[in-house]
Structure 1
Amino acid sequence: MADPAFRPALLVVDMQEDFCPPNGSLAVAEGRDITPLINTLLALPSTTLPLKIATKDWHPPNHISFAINHHDPPKQPFTDTTTITNPSNPSETYTTRLWPAHCIQHTPGANLIPELDTTRLTHTIEKGTDPRVEMYSAFYTPLTSPRVSDSGLTTLLREAGTTHVYVVGLAADYCVRSTAADAAREGFVAVVIEEATRAVDPAGWAACKGEMEAEGVRVVGWEGEEVRRLFRGNE
């Protein structure tokens, strides 16, 4: 019998060519290796998992997060940062890491990887489309006064009656983390499945997990109760 207090959704974050070896411009080590686990989740029936949502970075070429777009002085990806300002409120700013150009709209690097079973997806959300702001989270940017680049994901989840949001994909310490934290902030039970994600900086993953848990996110194992609960709905 279905549990009315448990209506999960799956968020598959940024499983795109540019985030995956061997040729991605911002490849996350072992990023492709998590696909079989994600496909196992995608194969669950809609009665068990009604929403299966993929996200894609979908950047314009002049995106502020690309180191190549900073010239005075020139900046380097991974090591340098930039300050992002709310376009509607100059007093609200934050600092973000700079990256190689990646997931540029309508380029092969922005495509979801072919191994991913996209036929099972119910929705795809494109994020990071505003060249002026970074958007790790599938929900919205960190800028709140006023809110910038809200994807509409919160509304989609709430209209479906979602209670639990399971987050997988890339990268664990950036877009997965931010998406899960915002899911928790919006009142959903946020669950990150550790084996179904990989980090840009693996050495910092243990500390990142602790920070996520402090933000209200559950970081769980594939064999744990939270994941088994998904599959019990298919029994």
Structure 2
Amino acid sequence: MTKALIVVDVQRDFCEGGSLAVAGGNAVAANVREYVLNGGSGGALYVVATRDYHVDPGAHFGEWPVHCRVGTEGAEFHPAVADLPFDAEFRKGEHAAAYSGFEGVDAAGSGLSLEAWLRERGVIEVDVCGLATDFCVAATAKDAERLGFTTRVLVELSAAVNQG
């Protein structure tokens, strides 16, 4: 069985000190790093990342503080994960709100969506972790399941906006 780990939006703006900080974001970044580097990626053959990547997302910035604007430090991956050996990165939300990693496109310029990229590699199972559990992690996991991937959310490697 071919498996992938999807690391969702572990970016500076979503960690403590960022414009849309999630409590525990720095710890999530450190724990994801440890998990990936110590081979704890649950048998995942591929490790991919998603990135909120806003140019002008319209009304989205009316709903949320300005965050992850292209070209800003806040849009960068948290330093703990920035140098991880991701097999691919998927950017989402340039000109509209985008919560699910499946709304993104391959940052390498292939034009592939996350779904197409995973299917090309025979992935049938995904683990999802990152920020924030109740928004982008949830949307990514729901889309993965809807698209037929066996899906598991790694809550110990995630944090939520709304702690309840």
TM-score of the aligned structures, taking structure 1 as reference length: 0.62
5 Å-filtered alignment, 1:1-235, equals: 6-21=1-16, 23-43=17-37, 44=39, 48-61=43-56, 63-67=58-62, 98-116=63-81, 118-130=83-95, 133-140=96-103, 152-203=113-164
Q: Provide, for residues 119-147 of structure 1, a one-character-per-residue CA deviation record: whole Å limited to 9, x for no partner.
A: 311111110012xx311001129xxxxxx
Q: State whether residues 132 and 158 of structure 2, in contact with CA within 8 Å, keep that contact through their aligned partners in structure 1.
A: yes
Distance 1:29 1:199, change over 3 A: same
What is the alpha-carbon distance in structure 2 between the residues aligned to residue 62 and residue 139 of structure 1? 17
Aligned residues: 156
* Bigger relative contact order (CA 8 A; separation at least 6): 2
Letter in 1 for 2:46: L
What is the alpha-carbon distance in structure 2 between the residues aligned to residue 62 and residue 173 of structure 1? 20
Where in structure 1 are there 5+ consecutive unaligned residues?
1-5, 68-97, 142-149, 204-235
What is the alpha-carbon distance in structure 1 between the residues aligned to residue 89 and residue 83 of structure 2? 9
Letter in 1 for 2:123: T
Q: State whether residues 171 and 199 of structure 1, in contact with CA within 8 Å, keep that contact through their aligned partners in structure 2.
A: yes
Distance 1:49 1:63, change over 3 A: same
Percent identical among aligned pairs is 38
Where in structure 2 are there 5+ consecutive unaligned residues?
105-110
- Larger radius of gyration between Structure 1 and Structure 2: 1
What is the deviation of 1:62? Answer: 5.3
Give SS of 1:174's match: helix
Q: Provide, for residues 90-148 of structure 1, a one-character-per-residue CA deviation record: whole Å limited to 9, x for no partner.
A: xxxxxxxx100000001000000111153311111110012xx311001129xxxxxxx
Give SS of 2:128's match: strand
Q: Please give the root-mean-square deviation of Cα atoms over the aligned residues, in Å.
A: 2.0
TM-score of the aligned structures, taking structure 2 as reference length: 0.87
What is the alpha-carbon distance in structure 1 between the residues aligned to residue 141 and residue 135 of structure 2? 10
